[in-house]
Amino acid sequence: MGTLIQYLTVVSAIVLAVQSQPSFMEYIERRLAAFEDRISVWHDQTQRYSSEYREFKNQILGLVEGLDKEREEQRRNLEMANSRIERIEREMDYLETRNPVPTCVEMEDKLIEQSVEKAQEKKKPKHSKMIDCGEMISNIKAMKIVKKLETTSGLWTKDLMSDSEKVYVFDGIGNDTVYEFARIRDFTDFSGLVKAKKIKLPYPWAGTGHMVYKGFLYYIRSEPQFQVIKFDLKNQTVTDSSMFPAEQQIPVYGLSPFNYVDLAADEDGLWAIYATKENEKHICLARLDPKTLDIEQMWDTPCPIDNAENSFVICGTLYVVYNTKLRSRSRIQCVYDVSDTVTTEQAPLVYFPKRYGTHSSIKYNPAEKYLYAWDDGYQIIYRLAMKKKSDL
């Protein structure tokens, strides 16, 4: 009770003090009025910001809706363009069936018939003619689907500098067995690889960058480090091997990450296509000595690794084939000539006839002017039309 009396006494004293000092009351009223004004301003600003935010939100939603409509329209346009391309391809296939061109397999029979004549030709003039090669690709004249295996990636080829009709198949991207057929017709007549002769290699091969050249199999061994193996197919023995001298190698093709070294042959000799971390954005090229496997010369090319699927060499010119991650038509989009005769700008943009997946291997045969390719399980021969570099 005493505490309550004390509290009332203090309150009464404060009230009396306030009543006796009207200036203090005026101060309190001014402060309260200022607070009310600030609250009113804050309320007005909040309303304005809220209104602006709603307007901005509506604008963004309108833009997003417009972009969605434009994207849908572009998708429809792409689908229409794709359907038109497929229709044109079907029409071209139909025209080819109505007016068939000499196919690559038919040409194979002619080569067999001419094999005796070729064997009797003098080799020295022929070799000189090849060294003086000055041709380049004009376009792809025809294609022939020879077979389809279940393996998506692999390699098939003939001896690139021999009259031999034998066909060699590397099924997959790593193994120690190579399949040999006596000729292309034997390869196509039987399903799978059951009728092939099996060649057991002393070391497993890796990737799809191998090749057969003048009776020898040149293949890539990846362990313990990248090594080029020269294997005599007749004697079934290793005649030579060499550590690939490039350091810190990376996959040479963005769309074929299993290839670190891709071997190629043309009219002028043996080549190696590779890439390193030092020049990680572009493909490198080297000329090899077929006898010793020594590197004679190396070039840094301007051809990018990104979206590259494979490449090959013709007359000292590197042709790099590109695609996209969403599969489209393969095309030769970068050309590098070691003699600086041809540039990418001068070379024609060559598209491959059909779209399946990605070429895991492409091997050029100088004697036939054919490309032996493996595209998403399809074994394909492309017949090339050539022209002189001097005609540019």
Condensed to tens digits (0 to 9), the pLDDT of residues 315-333 reads 999 999 999 877 788 999 9
Are 200 and 176 within 8 A, CB to CB?
A: yes
What pLDDT is attached to residue 78? 83
What pLDDT is attached to residue 37? 81
What pLDDT is attached to residue 110? 47
- Segments of the chain with pLDDT less than 50: 97-131
Dist CA 362 CA 210 (whole Å): 10
In the three-class reduction of DSSP (H, G, I as helix; E, B as strand; rest coil), residue 18 is classed as: helix
What pLDDT is attached to residue 392? 67
Dist CA 319 CA 299 (whole Å): 14
What pLDDT is attached to residue 111? 43
Q: Which residues, including other chains, have CB under 8 Å from residue 74's CB and lie 6 or more apart?
A: none
DSSP secondary-structure letter at 249? Answer: B
The residue type found at 243 is M
What pLDDT is attached to residue 121? 44
